[in-house]
């Protein structure tokens, strides 16, 4: 009797090919599409077509209310605090994986699988799981997986781990006549398809009481007015409406004062940061080595070396060279060569 695996199937090319690879490896695949918002309907229909073609059982997990409460509410709340959140990091940890694990338990299935670009490694001597970067560096998704705990990783399979490139995945899909072979990759934030987060915040605020105009401050002096601090992100240059001898950028957002602090580019660099909500993979907090790791401070960041240590349940990161525009709410993610070490949520900047 074949071992069953519950696959998160979005209807895209990656999870579709993951289904084929799992079947080829001898698994009986049960596919689950997670309904998270109104934009999910087309994905559900696409996933159903693929399951029909591959003769796979297809189920829909309705997580719309949980997605609203866990991901969308947090996204709104963080912006109201002057931060810039990573909704995909939170969603993977608290919603996608948890929903898949819950459904797998209900169906008495031990393993779950996703179409993420990553590889899981187990250290027998440490009794711990780690995540290794994808072979295709341009598609690597480990940055959004750093919060996954050990009890999730022990049950997770990444079928695409041995695939070298996206082109190879599309080739497999084409050769198997999958309708998803030329489907575009998903972009940006799934619940904001037009990428207009400011519009989303306004629509999400049912009371229509978003913060109004306030002061833009340069060197402790008012130099202009902003249209609501939630409309700005750290490092932003355009749309400030302030004339100055040199270009100005958002350096800090102060919700409690309804102020935006701006500065010249030379004043945007930070010595380090403090991160909370730490999750470690290979190491524990007790075995974590005080050493230099490559640290990414945003999703598309290539990363830079930094000295890292744990102090009072928080991660102190001191950069080898100052980094520009460290942003509260983003994830600071640690790597040792191609291995994901862990990460935390940036809660404080060290000037």
Q: Which residues are catalytic?
A: 91, 190
Please say whether the beta carbons of 79 and 201 come within 8 A.
yes
Q: Which two tokens stand for residue 271?
A: 């010595």
**Hey, what's the torsion of the CAs at 280, 282, 288, 291, to 10 degrees?**
-100
Of the candidates 231, 215, 235, the residue with the CA atom closest to the CA atom of residue 223: 215
| Distance of alpha carbon 74 from alpha carbon 34, whole angstroms | 19
Please say whether the beta carbons of 174 and 17 come within 8 A.
no
| Distance of alpha carbon 16 from alpha carbon 115, whole angstroms | 8
User: How many Å separate Cα 181 from the centre of its chain?
Assistant: 24
| Distance of alpha carbon 328 from alpha carbon 82, whole angstroms | 8
Of the candidates 215, 331, 219, the residue with the CA atom closest to the CA atom of residue 267: 219
**Hey, what's the torsion of the CAs at 44, 46, 51, 57, to 10 degrees?**
10
| Distance of alpha carbon 237 from alpha carbon 248, whole angstroms | 6
**Hey, what's the torsion of the CAs at 325, 269, 273, 88, to 10 degrees?**
20
Q: Which residue has the tokens 């077509």?
A: 49
* Interacting residues of 38 by C-beta distance below 8 A, sequence separation 6+: none
Of the candidates 161, 56, 62, the residue with the CA atom closest to the CA atom of residue 119: 161
């Amino acid at each position: 009797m074949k071992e069953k695996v519950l696959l998160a199937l979005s209807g895209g090319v990656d999870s579709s090919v993951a289904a084929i690879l799992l079947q080829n490896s001898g698994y009986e695949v049960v596919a689950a599409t997670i309904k998270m918002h109104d934009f999910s309907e087309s994905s559900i229909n696409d996933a159903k077509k693929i399951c029909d073609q591959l003769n796979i059982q297809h189920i829909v997990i309705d997580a719309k209310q949980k997605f609203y409460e866990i991901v969308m509410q947090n996204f709104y709340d963080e912006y109201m605090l002057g931060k810039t959140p990573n909704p995909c990091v939170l969603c993977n940890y608290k919603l996608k994986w948890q929903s898949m694990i819950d459904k797998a338990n209900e169906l008495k299935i031990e393993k779950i699988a996703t179409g993420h670009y990553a590889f899981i490694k187990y250290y027998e001597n440490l009794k711990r799981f780690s995540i290794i970067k994808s072979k295709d560096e341009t598609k690597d998704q480990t940055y959004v997986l750093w919060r996954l705990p050990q009890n999730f990783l022990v049950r997770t399979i990444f079928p695409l781990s041995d695939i070298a490139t996206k082109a190879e995945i599309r080739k497999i899909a084409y050769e198997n006549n999958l309708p998803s072979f030329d489907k575009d990759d998903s972009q940006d934030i799934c619940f904001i398809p037009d990428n207009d987060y400011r519009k989303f915040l306004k629509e999400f605020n049912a009371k229509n009481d978003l913060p109004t105009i306030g002061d833009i401050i340069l060197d402790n002096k008012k130099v202009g007015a902003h249209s609501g601090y939630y409309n700005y992100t750290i490092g932003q240059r355009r749309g400030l409406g302030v004339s100055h001898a040199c270009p100005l950028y958002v350096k800090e957002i102060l919700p409690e004062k309804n102020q935006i602090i701006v500065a010249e580019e030379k004043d945007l660099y930070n010595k380090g940061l403090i991160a909370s909500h730490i999750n470690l993979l290979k190491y524990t907090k007790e075995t974590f080595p005080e050493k230099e790791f490559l640290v990414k401070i945003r999703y598309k960041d290539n990363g830079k070396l930094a000295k890292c240590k744990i102090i009072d349940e928080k991660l102190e990161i001191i950069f080898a060279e100052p980094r520009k525009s460290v942003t509260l709410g983003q994830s600071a993610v640690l790597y040792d060569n191609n291995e994901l070490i862990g990460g935390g949520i940036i809660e404080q900047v060290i000037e």
